Structure 1
Amino acid sequence: MVNINGTLIPSNDFQITYQNRAFKYGDGIFESIKVLNGKAVFFEDHYFRLMASMRMLRMKIPMAFTLEYLQEEVLKTVKAQENLADVMRVRLTVYRKDGGLYTPATNEVDFVIEAGALNSQVKEQYRIDLYKDFYNYSGMLSTVKTTNRMLNTLAAVFAEENEYDNCILLNERKGVAEATNGNVFLVKGTTIKTPALTEGCIKGIIRKKLIDILEKHPEYTIEETVISPFDIQKADEVFITNAITGIQPVTHYRKKVFGTAIANKLQNSLRIASITG
C-alpha cells in the first residue's frame, strides 16, 4: 500500500501523469525515515527539514501539514504494509502539482508515502573511493534532498562497476562534499571533522544529531570544515551517516585500512538518542 495525499491505495494502482513535475523536472523533495518498533525515529527533525526545504523551493505548505498529521500518515502507511517488520524504511516525497513548463502552473503540492521492511545493515567490510566524473556544486540548494539525484545515481553505478560499497562526491573545488548516500566524517586523534554545509553536502538528520552528541562529548572535538581527499588517507577512521543505517564505518580507501572503534562507539550513542529522543 502507498499513501497518496492521505489516501491508502494498492501499490500497483499508483500512477503519475506525463505532467508530473517530479518526473519532468525533479521538482520535488523527499525524506527517508526509519520507523523502529512503530516509532518514526527523529521525526521532528525530518519534519522541520521538510518544512525548511519547502519554503526554500517556494512550495506552498498546506495548512494540514502539521507535525502530528504527517507523523500519523507515516505510521498509518507503515501499519498498512503486508510485510510489516520491526524496522521499516519510509520515504515521504512532496512535489509540486502537475502543470507548467519550468514555471509551474501552481505552487501547491501533492505527497506520496511509501514503506517497506528494512534489510539494510552495517557492513563489516566497506570499501570506498572518489567519484570524479562530475561534481556536487556547493551552495544552499545542494543541502536540500531534491528528487534530482542524477549525480548520486551515476556515482552509485560507478561504485557497483568497480566493486566499491560507496563513493565520495567532490565539489567544484575538488573538496569532499559527501558520500553517495550520506554525510562523511573523518577521525584524526580526538578531532572529528565533517564537511561544512557550504561545501555542498546534504543537511543530514544524523549529521545534525551526531554533531549535537559530539559537541557535548568530553573526549572529542567536532569541526565543520573544508576537507580534501588527502585528508581521507591521513585519517584514523572514516564513517558515513544517514537516517537509515545510522553510522557505517569505512574499512578501506584505496590502500588505506581504517579502524572502526570510535565509529562503533558513536553508533551506540546514536542508538540511545534514537530511543530516548
Structure 2
Amino acid sequence: MHLLYNGQLLQEKDLRLPLTNRAFQYNDGFFETVIVKDGQLRCWQDHQDRLQAAARALQLALPQALQQPLLLQEQLQQLIRQNNATAYGRLKLKVWRSGAGLYTPETTTADWLATAAPATTPTAAPLRVGRCRGVRTSFSPFSFFKGPNALLYVMAGLEKKAKGTDDMLLLSTEGHAAELASANLFWIKEGSLYTPALGTGCVNGILRRNILRWCKAAGVTVQEEFATPDQLVAADAAFAANVTGIRSIAQVEEMVFNPEHPLVTWLQQQVDSL
C-alpha cells in the first residue's frame, strides 16, 4: 500500500518515524476520516474547515501543503488511485506536532500522513444501541474533533463488544445524551429534528453539519439539546450519522423506535447525492 508522508508518496514499508514522534508519545495531534466515492472526496470543504479549526485549537502551524486545498486534493486523489480506492474508499489524514520535547513542545510546526484503502458500502440495517456505563464525554476546546479523545471511543468500543450491541450511547458528565461511540445522534419528534448540543462534548461531525444545513434550508425546525436519555422515549424516530452515512436506530436498551420515518428517508437521499 502507498501513503503520503509530508507530501511524499511512499510504500508503507518505507515509512520511518522516530521514537520521539509526538503523536505516539503524547497523542499531540488529530485526524480526519474522509469517504471517497467515485474518485471524489465527499464533503471535502467541511473537512478542510474542521482541519483548520483543529489546528488552531492545538496551536499547530499547518504546513503549506495542507493550506492549499486544490493541490492537496490532487495529491490525495493520486494516492486514492494508487491504492485502488476510487470507487468507494476511506481516506485518513493524520496531523501531529513536529519535534521532540516532553509535555512542553519544542515547536508549533506539524507533520502529516495520509492513507487510503478500499472500503465496503456500509449496511443500512437499523442499529441496536446499548448505554455506555464505563466512560462519559466531557466538553473541552478539543472535543469537537477526532484525536485527543480517542481513548474514550476505544473504551466505549470495548464495552460495545462485551455487550454485543451495534453501538453505544455515550452520556456527558452531566448525564445528557451526547453521541454514539461511532456517530452523532439525532432524534425526531413531531416533525422537528433534535441532536445533542456541542456542549455535551460530542464531535462536530461532518455529516452532522450537513444534516443541520439541509434541514434548516428545507424549513425543518432544528434543536441542539441538552437532553437526558429518558427524554428520547417520546421520540418518533432516532438515527445515527457519521461520514459513512445515516442508519436508523431500532432501539436504545429498552427504548424502541420506528426504524422508518419520512425525514430519515429524505436525509438518506441527500447523503446519496453527495
Match of 1:121 in 2: 122
1:184–1:239 contact (8 Å) kept in structure 2: yes
| 8 A contact 1:140–1:200 mirrored in 2 | no
Q: CA deviation at 1:265?
A: 2.3
SS at 2:264's partner residue?
A: helix
Give the secondary structure class of the aligned counterpart of 2:64. coil
Deviations 1:174-221 (A, max 9, x none): 111111112110111201100111121111111010000111224x31
**The 10-residue stretch of structure 1 (15-24 or 256-265) with the greater mean CA deviation from structure 2:** 256-265
> Match for residue 258 of structure 1?
257
- Structure-1 residue corresponding to 2:231: 231
- Matched residue SS, 2:199: helix
Distance across 1 between alignment mates of 2:162 and 2:136: 19
- Cα offset for 1:237? 1.2
Equivalent AA in structure 2 for residue 78 of structure 1: I
Q: Distance in 1 between matches of 2:252 and 2:178?
A: 16
- Find the aligned partners of 1:2 and 1:217 in 2 and give their Cα distance: 40
Q: Which amino acid aligns with 2:81?
A: K
Q: Give the letter aligned to residue 70 of structure 1.
A: L
Match of 1:258, as an amino acid?
A: F
Structure 1 95/17 Cα, relative in aligned 2: closer, same or farther at 3 Å? same
Show the 5 A alignment for 1:21-170: 21-64=22-65, 65-81=67-83, 83-170=84-171
Total equivalences in the alignment? 270
Q: Assess, with a 3 A threshold, how the Cα gap between structure 1 residues 56 and 247 changes in structure 2: closer, same or farther.
A: same
Aligned partners of 1:156 and 1:180 also within 8 Å: yes
Question: Which residue identity lines up with residue 225 of structure 1 in the other structure?
Answer: E
Deviation string 1:220-261 (CA, Å, 9 cap, x unpaired) is 311112121112232221111111x21111112223332222
> Any stretches of 5+ residues in structure 2 without a counterpart?
none
Deviation string, structure 1 residues 86-109 (Cα, Å, up to 9, x no partner): 111000011011301111111111
**Deviation at residue 118 of structure 1 after TM alignment:** 1.4
Deviation at 1:147, TM superposition (A): 4.6
Structure 1: tracts of 5 or more residues without a match: none
What's the RMSD between the two structures over aligned residues? 1.5
> 1: distance between equivalents of 2:85 and 2:50?
27
Q: Do the aligned residues in 1 keep the contact of 2:136 with 2:171 (CA within 8 Å)?
A: yes
Amino acid at match of 1:71: Q
Whole-angstrom distance in 1 between the partners of 2:15 and 2:237: 44
Identify which range, 248-257 or 88-97, moves more after superposition: 248-257
- Please show how residues 168-247 of structure 1 align to structure 2 within 5 Å: 168-218=169-219, 220-243=220-243, 245-247=244-246
SS of the residue 2:268 aligns to: helix
2:228 corresponds to which letter in structure 1? S
In the alignment, residue 10 of structure 1 is paired with which amino acid?
Answer: Q
| TM-score, length of structure 1 as denominator length | 0.92
Distance 1:78 1:147 in 2: 26
Rounded to whole Å, the distance in 1 between the matches of 2:13 and 2:183 is 30
